[in-house]
Amino acid sequence: MSHRNEATAALKALSVATDACRECPLGAYATQSVFGEGPVGAVLMVVGEQPGDKEDLAGRPFVGPAGKLFDRAVAKLGWSREKLYVTNAVKHFKYELRGKRRVHKTPAQREAEACHHWLESEMELVQPRGYVALGATAARSLLGRPVAVMKERGRWIEDEATGRRVLVTLHPSALLRGDPAQREVAWKAWLKDLSVASSLMKKASVKQPAAKRPPATPAAGHARRRVRMVME
Ligand code: SF4
């Protein structure tokens, strides 16, 4: 089996494993886990916060209103969807019931930390050239530190520990929740942030990941061990 096929099979196995995960309380309340989607070797990995109500029911990321807004941005920027891998920092939906409505709740830091190894495994298998963090939870998960999104948005940030390039911007749900009078301004500013990744998207083709790479960090090594465990 080629390395790409092996990595694709490992991602599928991880997806099944997250569904059974109960390493934090969220797994017990959600309908199912929502794992990432996209090709191994995608140019960009786009990381959101957690699945929303629609994603939880569909079992797929970025299919709710925020995901549709992201799709509009992708179309506007002329990016091709097959060069993207989309996922979330937290794999189960966190919500509170208000009547019959399930209202989104921001995951606690301990929940994002419990879930981080799944994201680390995705990064290790997909090996994208850059990352887009949508919102503070994703940015913290990717950079390993608290991130002030409004201060650090719209430029590549290189994580010295891992060598990863991360572009931070708002989560699309922040645009949907924002002041309607400011929506057009916020949309243009968001597109401007995302467009920083356009040169990478336009030049690069989806690459084959390297067949064997030493773990860049202890976390990456942990991810590799976990992938092996899941595959066994
Ligand atoms: S949110 Fe993450 S850590 Fe928590 S149960 Fe789900 S997969 Fe496991």
The mean per-residue pLDDT over the stretch 20-37 comes to 97
Confidence of residue 206 (pLDDT cuts 50, 70, 90): low
Question: What is the 3-class SS of the chain, one letter each residue?
Answer: CCHHHHHHHHHHHHHHHHHHCCCCHHHHCCCCCCCCECCCCCCEEEEECCCCHHHHHHCCCCCCHHHHHHHHHHHHHCCCHHHEEEEECCCCCCEEEECCEEEECCCCHHHHHHHHHHHHHHHHHHCCCEEEEECHHHHHHHHCCCCCHHHHCCCEEECCCCCCEEEEECCHHHHHHCCHHHHHHHHHHHHHHHHCCHHHHHHCCCCCCCCCCCCCCHHHHHHHHHHHHHHC
pLDDT of residue 228: 42
pLDDT of residue 202: 85
Query: What lines the ligand 1 site, CB under 6 Å?
Result: 18, 21-24, 26-27, 33, 90-92, 111, 114-115, 118
Query: What average pLDDT is seen over the chain?
Result: 90
The mean per-residue pLDDT over the stretch 185-197 comes to 98
Q: What is the pLDDT of residues 87-140, one digit of tens each?
A: 999 999 999 999 999 999 999 999 999 999 999 999 999 999 999 999 999 999
Does the pLDDT at position 214 exceed 50?
A: no
Domain count, the chain: 1
CA of 26 to the centre of ligand 1 (A): 6
Does the pLDDT at position 219 exceed 50?
A: no
Indicate which residue's Cα is closest to atom 2 of ligand 1.
Answer: 115
Residue 15 is part of a domain; what is its CATH number? Answer: 3.40.470.10
Domain residues for the domain of 211 are 3-231
